[in-house]
Structures are given as structure tokens and as C-alpha cells.
Amino acid sequence: MSLDDFFLFLQRVFDRLIRRLRVGPPPRENGRRFLIVQIDGLSRSVLERALAEGRMPFLARLLERGRHRLQPMAVGMPTSTPAFQMAVMYGVRPDIPAFHYHDKRRRADIYFPRGGDAAHVEAAQGAGRRGILQGGSTYGCVFTGGAANSLFSFAMIKRPTGEGLLRAISAGVVLGWVLLKGTTVTAITLARALLAFIADPMRGQARGWRWLAIKLGISVWLRELFTLAVSRDLYQGAPAVYVNYLDYDVFAHGFGPRHRSALRALRRVDRSIHQLWRVLRRVPEHGYDLYILSDHGQAACRPFIRLTHGRPIERLLFEDYLEPGGPRETRPGDSRGRRLRGGIKAFRSGRSAGLFQRFVNYLEADFPWLLGEVKQARERGGVRVVAAGPNALVYWVDVEEPLMLAEIEARVPGLAEALSGSPGIGFVLVRAAAGPVCWWRGKSYVLSREQPGPFAGRSDLDLVLQGIRDLMAMRSAGDLVIYGIDVPGRNASFVPELGAHAGPSADELHTFIISPTGAALPEPITHPIQLYPHFIRYQEAA
């Protein structure tokens, strides 16, 4: 028996005593229950590499035993956690075009980590639908899925539902063990980092100590807390549990989806899944089915500002395209044709290299009011630009309904065409009567098998085209949707990251689900909404 198991055993003793005094009888030992483990951000191609290289030994053994199988899954557009979880948990096609977007009707942005935004979206889009997690628990998710207990889910980040916080911290024995174990692992990790820094000081400075803090917070403390809290739920017989392990996604964003730091995170997640599997084997009377899946993959990318001399997408759009006079043709490093103001504005254009230029870029990013900005640069003249990752959404906020291509052309002639030829821009999507139009390298395509545009030669062309149609059918998608995916040479992201998702690249779109061999999942899975009927049947049977 491991120390984890010992402390969970002590907790079960206390639980039985409390139940006899206050709570009532234990759950009935009939019916089926399920545990969903989400490995956030893991594409099928990276999973297959990790299995082949021995980075996830337990998962490899689980598949080799023949009681579970790996099934391909396409996750639709956008390739993001909120859209995926809304579809799975509530069985609706979501109106969630990005991790950060603008709602014209509310005249407000939706940004999921911000308190209240996820709760609003869940209440609005899941209204009248039964969530697959009713009576169960969620950990680290965007939405609750109707769970009675929710911990570190964006929808309830400030106020965990029901007994979510109570279940996690009232168990003094388990919490004490998490604190002791986390403190020990933290001390060991810090000692190793210090020795590595002494051996190679420059290497430590290159990435800084910020990532060490993230590793400790996400991969040590949060993962251990989730694993022990889920274990306790399984022993108690919770009807449904959904845990989202964030380790890989966080490191893939920071270092790239195939970087060794991201791949090392998979080994830690694999150990936690193994621990949960051992718990499941000890409670066969509860009838748990284990599912392991991923919500999206990630594409390797570079920050957009590296291609534009430090200018973010918002500044490029306003300064080069959306100010009076319309779009103007520019070339990298060539400021001719730009409307520049004198003084500090010239430095803000990115023309000046060196220390002062970096200082001005820093001021604009963190202290826009010092440069006389009344509003943030992302909204000017009734146009709002939201950079969400490898996608940026442009909204004309004077109208509530999405604009069509002809209406955009009437406002800013040639905008989509000019944008599609700009450095760092992969393609631009707009709505038209005949369907979504894709501008790519200065040419327009009414996307179809006959006009595939940038997606020519894709074996999954039908999935890509359907995903883009779904995306542009969302009322909250931008009037223009700009992607840095499919940029010549390498993908670009409009926020500072080396791994990105939301687009239609194969790495982002294609993930997996590992399920019991007897589970009757649909085949093929071309959208996560297909999983809802399978999981809601557990609720109906109960």
C-alpha cells in the first residue's frame, strides 16, 4: 500500500463515521458510473509519439491489455476547451468562437478565466439541458456540466458549488497529506533547479524562474490536489467525475507542443492516471468506466510581434488598415504609406530598434495610459479587435448582427484582401450569402471541395470545411476572423506563445478518446457533441 492509499484509507474511516452520524447510507452498489480524465491540449500525434517513446508507460500498458481502445476524434472549430466541454457536457453546438471574444448583444467581452464569464455562458447556452455530471464532480474544467461539486472550474472559480470545496478541504487527512507531499516535492524540485542553475547559470536565465513557479503550482500542487480529491470521490461512489489535467497544455503553450518540457509533463499526468486506475480497481462495486480524452491539440507557432517589429495585431490593424483612408499596401520594414504621428508615435510604429524601442513596447503593453491612450488599443472608432491566440476577431460594434462581406467592403474596401497578404496573417474568414469566404494570399475562395483554398491536399478536407462553416455560423464570431495558422514558414499566434490552438491545423483538430472496449461510442467521431448521448445515458440509467 502506497502512502497515498494509506491516507485515503484513513479518510474513508472518517467518512464512514461521519456518514453514520450525519450523512446517511453510502451510495447504492448498482448501475454504472464514469470517470473522464481530460489531458488538456494533447493532440493524437503527440500522444502516439509519447506512447512510442515510453513517456506514458501506464497508458501504453492499459491499451496493450485490450480492455481499453484508442479511437480517433475530431473536435470541431474552434479547437478550444470551452467549445469542446460545452458540446460534451450539454450536447449543444456552442456559440463560443474563441477563448476570448466579444458579445455584441451584451456589449462586453467574454474571457473565460475572468470571474462570472464562464458562468454566464454556461447558464445561457446550457439552459434547459441536462448536464452529464449531475450529482458528480468537476475539477479544473471551464464549465460544471451540472456537477454538485466543482473545484477550480472557471464557471465557479470564486464560489465552488455544493460541497466542491468542502469535499476537497474538509477531508483533513487527505489535505494534510497533499500539503506534506507537495511541500516535499517542491523542496526536491527547488533543490534540483538550484543545482542546475549553479551548473549552467545562463540556461536558468534564458527561461527565468517563472516557469519553475508554474511547474510547482500546476504540476505539483494542483495535480496532486485533483488526484487525491478525485480518488476520494471514487471511493465514495460519486456518479460522474470529470478531471482536467492542465500540465501539458500549460507547458505546450510556453515551450511548444513537442518540446521536452511539455513531453515531460505527460509522464507526470500518466502517473496520476495510474493512481486513479488503482483506486477504480479497489471499488469494483461502484461500476466505474474510465475514459481518457483530449479537447484539442496544439500547433507550433511563433509570436506575431516577432514578424511585425513588436507591433501586436491590434496596432497593425488600426494603424495600417482601419484608420481613415482604408487599407494601404505595406512591406515588412517599410513605413511608407502609414499615417504616423510625431514624437513618441514614431517609436511606437516599431521603426526604431534597440533598448528604447523595447521600453516603448513595454509601456504600451502594460501602461497604455502613460502614452495618452484613453481606451485600450483594441477598440477605436467603433471597431473592436480581440486577439485570442492564433485567431483574432474583428467586430464593428455599432451593429448587433454579424456583418456580411458586402457590408464590410462598403465600410473598408479591400480590407480582407489586403489583410490576407500581410506578414504573419495566414487567412481571413468572412461571411457571405453563399457561405464562408476565405481570403488567402490575396485571393478569395468560397470554401468547398472545388475551392479548398489554403486547405488543398488535406485528407480531412470535409472536416475542415464543416468546422469553418460551424465557426462562421456562430453569432459571436467576429465580422472578420483572422488566423495566423498556415503562415508561410511557420504559424503565428497573436498572443505571446509558442504553442497555440483554435485553428484547423491537423495538430489542433485531431485528438483521441480512450474508452472501455465495450463502450458503444459513435464512429467516426467528427464533433464532440456526439459524445453527449453516450454519457447522458449513465444519468438516465441511474
Please identify which residue in the block is written with the cell numbers 507547458.
251
Given a cut of 90, whether residue 142 has pLDDT beyond it is: yes
Looking at the chain, the number of H-run helices and the number of E-run strands are 20, 19
Q: What separation in angstroms does the CA of 83 have from each of 92, 95, 276?
A: 10, 8, 26
Exposed, middle or buried: residue 5 (CB in 10 Å: 0-12, 13-18, 19+)?
middle
Closest C-alpha to 164, from 183, 192, 179, 145: 145
Exposed, middle or buried: residue 447 (CB in 10 Å: 0-12, 13-18, 19+)?
buried
pLDDT for 275-333, tens place per residue? 899 889 888 889 999 999 999 999 999 999 999 888 999 999 998 998 755 454 444 44
% of the chain surpassing 70 pLDDT: 72
Mean pLDDT of 403-423: 94
Q: What is the Cβ-side half-sphere exposure of residue 347, based on CA atoms within 13 angstroms?
A: 15
For CA atoms 308, 314, 317, 322, the dihedral sign is: negative
Domain ranges across the chain: 3-298+506-541, 302-500
% of the chain surpassing 90 pLDDT: 59
Name the residue with higher pLDDT: 422 or 357. Answer: 422
- C-alpha cell of 308? 511585425
CB 429 within 8 A of CB 438: yes
Quick one: DSSP state of residue 217? I
Question: Distance (Å, rounded) from C-alpha 397 to C-alpha 14?
Answer: 57
Mean pLDDT of 16-40: 67
pLDDT for 85-111, tens place per residue? 999 999 999 999 999 999 999 999 999
The answer regarding whether domain 3-298+506-541 maps to CATH 3.40.30.10 reads: no
Mean pLDDT of 268-277: 93
Question: What pTM was computed for the model?
Answer: 0.81
Closest C-alpha to 226, from 116, 149, 290: 149
Predicted local confidence at residue 300, as pLDDT: 96
- When pLDDT is cut at 50, 70 and 90, the band that residue 151 belongs to is confident
- C-alpha cell of 359? 521600453
Q: Which stretch of 78-92, 152-166, 234-248, 269-283 has the lowest confidence by average pLDDT?
A: 152-166
93 Cβ neighbours under 8 A, 6+ residues apart? 87, 470, 527, 529
pLDDT for 215-238, tens place per residue? 445 556 788 888 888 988 888 899
Given a cut of 60, whether residue 382 has pLDDT beyond it is: yes
Predicted local confidence at residue 430, as pLDDT: 98
Predicted local confidence at residue 495, as pLDDT: 92
Q: What separation in angstroms does the CA of 25 have from each of 15, 28, 34, 170, 215?
A: 11, 8, 21, 19, 40
pLDDT for 505-542, tens place per residue? 999 999 999 999 999 999 999 999 999 999 999 988 87
Question: Distance (Å, rounded) from C-alpha 65 to C-alpha 87?
Answer: 31
Predicted local confidence at residue 283, as pLDDT: 86
Q: Which stretch of 461-465, 494-498, 526-530 has the lowest confidence by average pLDDT?
A: 494-498
CB 358 within 8 A of CB 442: no
Question: Distance (Å, rounded) from C-alpha 532 to C-alpha 250?
Answer: 27
Mean pLDDT of 460-466: 97
Exposed, middle or buried: residue 35 (CB in 10 Å: 0-12, 13-18, 19+)?
buried
Q: What separation in angstroms does the CA of 526 have from each of 10, 75, 401, 456, 504?
A: 44, 7, 29, 19, 13
Backbone angles phi, psi at 299, to 5 degrees: -105, 135
Residues comprising the chain, all counted: 542
Q: Which stretch of 133-142, 174-183, 344-353 has the lowest confidence by average pLDDT?
A: 344-353
CB 190 within 8 A of CB 196: no
Given a cut of 60, whether residue 58 has pLDDT beyond it is: yes
- When pLDDT is cut at 50, 70 and 90, the band that residue 169 belongs to is very low
CA dihedral in degrees (169, 42, 52, 139; nearest 10)?
A: 10
Closest C-alpha to 164, from 210, 233, 250: 233
Predicted local confidence at residue 411, as pLDDT: 94
pLDDT for 178-215, tens place per residue? 555 556 555 555 555 555 545 444 444 445 545 445 54
Predicted local confidence at residue 152, as pLDDT: 75
CB 396 within 8 A of CB 438: no
The mean of the pLDDT values for the chain is 81
Predicted local confidence at residue 322, as pLDDT: 86
- List the Cα angle 447/452/455 in 5-degree steps: 120
Predicted local confidence at residue 228, as pLDDT: 84
Q: Which stretch of 59-63, 76-80, 319-323, 501-505 has the lowest confidence by average pLDDT?
A: 319-323
Q: Which stretch of 159-163, 339-343, 465-469, 503-507 has the lowest confidence by average pLDDT?
A: 339-343
